Chains A and B, each alone.
Chain A
Amino acid sequence: KQEVTQIPAALSVPEGENLVLNCSFTDSAIYNLQWFRQDPGKGLTSLLLIQSSQREQTSGRLNASLDKSSGRSTLYIAASQPGDSATYLCAVDNQGGKLIFGQGTELSVKP
């Protein structure tokens, strides 16, 4: 049974700092891994999708890596801004669209 864990559960950093969010999963037979952002009271916004054959994806200040053999993914945020404050969720797909989510990392970027 696939289990997804995100560490830390919460993170507070000063503005401008580079940071890394971690995601680990127990079953390496995945189709893809997706990172989402969730603002309070809102739905999920897709940030990056990494297919199982890929090692990383980049979008602006965001970079996500995938290491299937070790069951790990990281989301790197460069030059963090207060507007980056949100909960970040990773989810793995190992059954044709059925996403298994971690519990999320709540990020607070202080001005």
Chain B
Amino acid sequence: EAGVAQSPRYKIIEKRQSVAFWCNPISGHATLYWYQQILGQGPKLLIQFQNNGVVDDSQLPKDRFSAERLKGVDSTLKIQPAKLEDSAVYLCASSLDSRGGGELFFGEGSRLTVL
């Protein structure tokens, strides 16, 4: 079974530029998450989708971050404009349980460096 796919793996941009990350969850998984992991810390939830609807985006900095999940499958996370403090690894995860609360499976992450 294929795992959660993310791209790009690495991205370096200047502050105030924009960037987009892509995630393809495990086939059939209804719930998709984006987490932000700053170096030395545990991941922090940014947004949770169930199918193509947003369940929780309370921690998403909506003035600069946006995310969508088209047709309830792939998802993109965009940052515009980027700030220095956005340097982090962006992890996508998916879960089979449509109600949330099941086992989460993570991708390899997209490492963002903002200069």
Contact with B along A84-103 (1 / 0, CB 8 A): 00000101010111110111
Which residues of chain A have C-beta atoms less than 8 A from B44's C-beta?
Answer: 101
Q: 15 A-B pairs, CB-CB below 8 angstroms?
A: A36-B106, A42-B108, A43-B4, A44-B93, A45-B106, A46-B105, A46-B106, A89-B42, A95-B56, A96-B55, A96-B100, A96-B101, A97-B95, A97-B99, A102-B42
Minimum CB–CB distance for B26 against chain A, Å: 12
What 3 A-B pairs come out closest when comparing CB atoms? Answer: A97-B100, A101-B42, A96-B100
What number of A residues sit within 8 Å (CB to CB) of B?
A: 24
Q: Which residues of A contact B108 (CB under 8 A)?
A: 42-43
A contacts, CB < 8 Å to B:
4, 31-32, 34, 36, 41-46, 49, 89, 91, 93, 95-99, 101-104
